[in-house]
Structure 1
Amino acid sequence: MIKASADPQWLPLYDALASDVRLHIIRMLSEQSMNNKDLAERLGLSGAIVSMHVKKLQAAGIVTSAMVRKDGGTHKMNALAVPGVEVLFPHVRQETRTFHEVVVPVGHYNDHEVYPTCGLATTSKMIGQFDDPRFFLDPERVQASILWFGRGFVEYRLPNFLLSSQQLEEIEISLEIGSEAPGVNRDWPSDITFSLNQKELGVWTSPGDSGEGRGALTPAWWTDQVNQYGFLKLIQIREDGTYLDGQRMSAVGLHDLAVQRNQWTLRLEVKEDAAHVGGLTLYGAGFGNYNQDIVFRTYYRSM
């Protein structure tokens, strides 16, 4: 997240956002990474003009570009470098929020039940073989930076660092996630259920398993024909309900959770009887478009 202010140093950022074309580029890159040629074709503009717009977005820190292998050649692929921009005005006093943060690698699950298509990989190699659930028990799984399955669940146990003198105000969970199609298919909906401490928070329908263009962080050895990147989702649980990317997902609030003293239990699941059984892919640091693992925060105030 870029946190800008009214200082003149941020003028390149504001200039980068002051263009319909550049805003359109941001929207397209939020869906998939693209090279300048693809952007030019979609926008109906010349390559030189698109290159100028991309350079402005790069200078502002909004877009990052990297050379990747694709279709037998090397291409300079563009992707969003940040999930958003926040502008802080000097006359607005910002309240400092205190929180505990736990960052969980995607392979550090404590329980699972998965069905093909499925698999795991580190940033350097596959763990075991494709479509063999037994490798989800392999001790090397803790090194995984991506995992996927057709249906089932993975469950993580995280430490609860809240003290008796700290009042929980909000829980925030951030992760990059998407569907799991055989190969890739951007039109492959999947109903993914999020649960915390055995309480269902709600269901998000992933639109597909993106793969038109490589992810910004996709390792060079990773083939083009499988999962590339997902969607960065932000879950917020407050007293009045659960929100996904700022939109209310359910009425489940903090008071509905059975808070355990020492741990939180987070489950990500595609149920067998879901309307859309389209699987789940979870991207960690080193894969996808966002260089992060599962980020779990508990905001609190001292009593």
Structure 2
Amino acid sequence: MDIHVSEEWLPVFEALASRVRLQIIQALAEQPMNIRELAERLGLSSAIMTMHVRKLETAGIIRTEMIPSRGGIQKRCILNVDTIRISFPNSAEEAREYYRVDVPVGYYTDFDVQPTCGLASVEKIIGQFDDPRYFSDPERVRANILWFGQGYIEYKFPNHMLPSQVLEEIEISLEIGSEAPKANENWPSDITFYLNGVRLGTWTSPGDFADRRGTYTPAWWPDEINQYGLLKVLRINREGSFIDGIQLSSVTVDDLPLGLHWTLRLSVEEDAQHVGGLTIYGAGFGNYNQDIVFKAYYSQKSVRQTHQSGIVIASS
């Protein structure tokens, strides 16, 4: 996992700032365990252990899955990372040039969704629950949160690259989670990412969280439904495609077709192992007060390279 010193990675730092949670990580490094086994090993109650596990899961350090047991269903905890690399601010990092575009959740350009689904602004529900027709309503551009059980949503970001510039890395950050009827923290969903039609890979969201209110979720929003997600950072560079530093695929920026815009698709596909829906949290909802943030990092070509290449960015 690659993180840097900023507020967006605060859940990771908070998760590690506990002797108990460090002991949990050490135990899970040996083998996956359920809540009861972890509680017995550390001499804690299952209720206290559940709280610590939730912190680690929210940070993306561990993941959980529900498995059958003699008594019914048990929650098994699995270590999700083997390395965390922390990048501190430095002059070289600050010197990196990039274009940034922030796109609100409601500014999608295409969709095909199935219930459960819906949209809302920070003031009210847009249309009605579980009616995909409202995803075409003009008022949808005011949406700060949206959710659906299966299908896809697409966003377009302008490509501001000039002929004199070389694309080095694309970074996309957004707060997302699963979509369960009402909410369920143990509701895995395979979310697949595409950029300009190229499949980057799939990340499995652990659940749809409503155990506590989202930091920025409006006061009128019901307690029992989607409260917050996980901040995910998708990076595509010359080494491959990564989410939070974990490699999704070998697709690089050089594999992406150039056009006048970048098209990001988030998809929950019908043949996925876990069809658990998708919730996207924008500014005014969830734990991170941000929309979908797109950054394109670039370097400058030499004058000679620019003249030789004669690059023209054509429409896709």
Q: How does 1:203-218 map to 2 (within 5 A)?
A: 203-218=202-217
1:42 and 2:48 equivalent?
yes
Question: How far off its partner does 1:21 sit?
Answer: 6.6
Letter in 1 for 2:274: H
Residue pair 1:169, 1:238 contacting (<8 A) in 2 also: yes
Residue pair 1:3, 1:86 contacting (<8 A) in 2 also: no
Question: How far off its partner does 1:165 sit?
Answer: 0.5
Q: 267, 274, 277: which is aligned to 2:275?
A: 277
Structure-2 separation of matches of 1:117 and 1:191:
16
Deviation string for 1:160-194 (max 9, x for gaps)? 00101010000000000000000100000100000
1:257 and 2:263 equivalent?
no
Structure-1 separation of matches of 2:206 and 2:236:
23
Question: How far off its partner does 1:203 sit?
Answer: 0.2
Structure-2 separation of matches of 1:279 and 1:19:
32
Secondary structure of the corresponding residue to residue 171 of structure 2:
strand
Find the counterpart in structure 1 of residue 188 from structure 2.
189
**Normalising by the residue count of structure 1, what TM-score does the alignment of the two structures yield?**
0.72
Find the counterpart in structure 1 of residue 288 from structure 2.
290
Q: 1:232 to 1:133 in 2, by over 3 A?
A: same
Q: 1:93 to 1:292 in 2, by over 3 A?
A: closer
Secondary structure of the corresponding residue to residue 140 of structure 1:
helix
Aligned pair count reads 237
Find the counterpart in structure 2 of residue 73 from structure 1.
none
Deviation string for 1:73-126 (max 9, x for gaps)? xxxxxxxxxxx98545xxx75341000000000100010000000000000100
Letter in 1 for 2:247: R
Consecutive unaligned residues of structure 2, counting only runs of 5 or more, are 8-12, 24-46, 51-84, 302-316
Identical columns (%) = 59
Secondary structure of the corresponding residue to residue 135 of structure 1:
helix
Question: How far off its partner does 1:235 sit?
Answer: 0.5
Structure-2 separation of matches of 1:136 and 1:289:
24
**Normalising by the residue count of structure 2, what TM-score does the alignment of the two structures yield?**
0.70
Letter in 2 for 1:269: S
Secondary structure of the corresponding residue to residue 126 of structure 2:
coil
Residue pair 1:120, 1:146 contacting (<8 A) in 2 also: yes
Structure-2 separation of matches of 1:226 and 1:18:
29
Consecutive unaligned residues of structure 1, counting only runs of 5 or more, are 5-13, 25-40, 45-83
Find the counterpart in structure 2 of residue 9 from structure 1.
none
Letter in 1 for 2:48: R
Q: How does 1:1-303 map to 2 (within 5 A)?
A: 2=5, 20=19, 42=48, 87-88=88-89, 94-95=92-93, 96-260=95-259, 262-303=260-301
Question: How far off its partner does 1:240 sit?
Answer: 1.9
Structure-2 separation of matches of 1:191 and 1:18:
30
Secondary structure of the corresponding residue to residue 226 of structure 2:
coil
